[in-house]
Amino acid sequence: MDIVVVGSVGLDTVETPFDRRGDVLGGAASYACAAASRFACTGLVGVVGEDFPAAADGCLRGFGIDLRGLERRAGRTFRWSGVYEDDCVNRRTLRTELGVFESFNPVLPSAYRSPKCLLLGNIGPELQLRVLEQVRDVPFVALDTMDLWIRTAADALHEVVGRVTLLTVNDAEARFLTGRHNLLDCADKLLAMGPRFVVIKKGEHGSLLFGAEGVRIIPAYPVRGLVDPTGAGDVFAGAALGFLAGGGCMGWDKLAEALLHGSVAASFAVEAFGLEGLAPLDRAAIDGRLRALRAMAV
C-alpha cells in the first residue's frame, strides 16, 4: 500500500444556501482516500455500521480504494449534519451521531503496516497512537487534529504531534492550540512540539507551509461554482499525501508541490456534494488546473 488513511467514514446531511442533501457519503477518511486514490494505491482504515449503503461501498470501490481496513460492525454508521451560512464557509453542526464510530478501534491489515505515507485523520489522539504502534518504517506520517482534543486529551495529543512528520490544522485550531494569534508565532510553537512540517489551512485563502526551511505560501485555486465545502481540508491533505506517496523524495520543495496538488484537488471537491466532484477526476484534469494555478501565482 502506498498510502493508508485512518479516520471517519460516515453519512452527512448538508444544507448550503443553495441546496440540501441527505445521507451523502462523507467522513474525513472517505474524502482523503478518494483524493489520494488519484495519485497512489490507497487503503482506508475505518468503521461503518450494518446500515452502510451498498452504493456508498461501491462508490469507495469505484475510486479504487482498498477497503480491507474498513470494518463493518453491528450498529449505525457515523452521521453528521450541518448547515452552512450564506458565505458557504462558516457552518453550524446540527447533529452528530457517533454510532459504531464511538467504539472505533483501528486495526491495520498486515498489508497496511509499512506504507510510504500514513494519514492520521481527525480521531482521538489515543487512537492515533494505537495506529502508530501498528506501523513501522513509514517515511511520512501526517496528522490532522482539532481543538476538541486539546480540551479532552492534551497529553496524548502532544505525544502524537511529537511523533509525526507533518501536522495540518486550520488557522483557528492553530491559534487555539498555541494561544497565539499571529500565524508565524503559531507555527513556531507547533514546530517546537516536534513535527518536521506544519501546514496551517486558511480555506479559500490557501494555506501556509512551515518548516526549518522557512515558509511557503500555497494559494487556493479560485472556485466560481462553490457547492459544498465539506471535506475540502481532507481532500487537500489526501491529495497532497497521495502525490507524495506516488513520487520519490519527500522533502521541502516536493511537499510544497504536493500541497499545490492538494489545493487543486480541493477545488474540484467543493464544486459538488460529497465525493461527486472527485469521481470524474483524472491526472489530466488535475494537471490542467495546476498549470492554471501556477500561471495565476506571481
Residues that bind a copy of itself (CB under 8 A): 86-88, 181-185, 202, 205-206, 208, 214-219, 222-224, 226, 256-257, 260, 294-298
Give the nearer residue to a copy of itself in terms of CB position, either 183 or 278.
Answer: 183
Q: How far is the CB of 166 from a copy of itself (least distance, A)?
A: 17
Give the nearer residue to a copy of itself in terms of CB position, either 49 or 262.
Answer: 262
Q: How far is the CB of 113 from a copy of itself (least distance, A)?
A: 34
CB-CB contact of 241 with 36 (8 Å): yes
- What is the secondary structure of 67-114 as a DSSP string? -TTEEEESSPPEEEEEEE-TTSS-EEEEEEE-GGGGG------GGGSS
Q: How far is the CB of 298 from a copy of itself (least distance, A)?
A: 5
Instruction: Spell out the residues 6+ positions from residue 277 whose beta carbon is closer than 8 angstroms to its own.
Output: 227, 268, 269, 270, 271
- What is the secondary structure of 253-289 as a DSSP string? HHHHHHHHHHHHHHHHHTTSSTTTTTTT--HHHHHHH
Name residue, grid cell 492554471: 292
Give the nearer residue to a copy of itself in terms of CB position, either 112 or 197.
Answer: 197
Q: How far is the CB of 34 from a copy of itself (least distance, A)?
A: 24
Q: How far is the CB of 260 from a copy of itself (least distance, A)?
A: 5
Give the nearer residue to a copy of itself in terms of CB position, either 151 or 224.
Answer: 224
- In the three-class reduction of DSSP (H, G, I as helix; E, B as strand; rest coil), residue 18 is classed as coil
Give the nearer residue to a copy of itself in terms of CB position, either 235 or 293.
Answer: 293
Integer Cα distance of 80 and 30 in angstroms: 14
Give the nearer residue to a copy of itself in terms of CB position, either 154 or 217.
Answer: 217
Quote the cell numbers at residue 149. Answer: 482534543
DSSP character at residue 224: S
Quote the cell numbers at residue 81. Answer: 449534519
Give the nearer residue to a copy of itself in terms of CB position, either 141 or 290.
Answer: 290
The CA–CA distances, whole Å, from 218 to 56, 268, 296 equal 32, 16, 12
Q: How far is the CB of 87 from a copy of itself (least distance, A)?
A: 6
Integer Cα distance of 52 and 213 in angstroms: 44
Q: How far is the CB of 256 from a copy of itself (least distance, A)?
A: 6
Instruction: Spell out the residues 6+ positions from residue 98 whose beta carbon is closer than 8 angstroms to its own.
Output: 78
